A = this chain, B = another copy of it.
């Protein structure tokens, strides 16, 4: 294998000093005459010279890579987010590396250090809950960072998210209109920003309509996963609750509920209605299709990347620290109309 060319090789060939070559490959505004610049570019072209990024970032302490850290890469929600980030990043000339923290604090800490130690230009970050250690690490790293779904929490920074409350309120109103009153609300993990906001959206909407959740409704926390939804539904059913609709804080939970319902021979929506939140692609494939709230994750990813890169490149911070996106209700067939 021929060793790759270095800046010195180019300099020698061009008959100039490495510094000059450096100036042109960095589009350094500092003066290089039009001719020498062209000459060098020409040589770089023909030899296909690529500067060594590692050497570069050793000096500048910066690279053209942005890191994305998420808690669960198997959840399509996050892969969709990643896709949005990648699109935007690529168009701006950045690479992206994905770190899966697997909802595990140590792993997350390692990921974050890894990114810092490799001089990433910036980070897009999400987690269910941010630990104090993580917050400290982020603070001390001083790497530009954008949150997806921040939670008025240990760190203040720029954040991109959907309007969870509106979304879930829309669902509540729809369900009320469909005649439902006996809800099992599977709220997702307690203390997690998106889950908390969605819950508030739901409960406030009921209140606003003067309908109380309490007597017939039941609220239960659970992980953001299919298995958790399955278990929660099982428990509720075993308690012989009479429920007309399972309102789930995300689609995964709804999948679990549906699986249990199927196992018990209960039909959706005839025997029981189910709703989700996020509208990940699979939800329309269920039979019946899952009624849920569309969450523009890819768009979120793109915006997060854009904000981050703007920031990295020195743009002034946006006026608001939080960029909010709208959701909308996706009516499919998993909710039954209950005439009153």
B287, A258: Cβ atoms under 8 Å?
Answer: yes
Q: A54 an interface residue at 8 Å Cβ cutoff?
A: yes
Give the copy number.
2
Q: A221 an interface residue at 8 Å Cβ cutoff?
A: no
Q: Please, what's the 1-or-0 string for A114-125, where 1 marks a CB less than 8 Å from any CB in chain B?
A: 100111000000
Tell me, rounded to whole Å, the shortest Cβ–Cβ distance linking A330 to chain B. Answer: 15
In the assembly, what is the distance between CA of A114 and CA of B285, in Å? 37
B285, A54: Cβ atoms under 8 Å?
Answer: no
A226-B285 CB under 8 A given contacts A58-B58, A79-B73, A90-B107: yes
Q: Is the interface of A mostly helix, strand, loop or mixed?
A: helix
A118-B83 CB under 8 A given contacts A76-B74, A98-B97, A259-B284: no
B1, A140: Cβ atoms under 8 Å?
Answer: yes
In the assembly, what is the distance between CA of A58 and CA of B52, in Å? 9
Return the contact of A58 from the options B55, B76, B98, B259 (Cβ within 8 A). B55
In the assembly, what is the distance between CA of A286 and CA of B82, in Å? 26
Nearest residue (CB) in B for A282 is: B282
- Chain B contacts of A258 at CB under 8 A? 285, 287
In the assembly, what is the distance between CA of A271 and CA of B102, in Å? 42
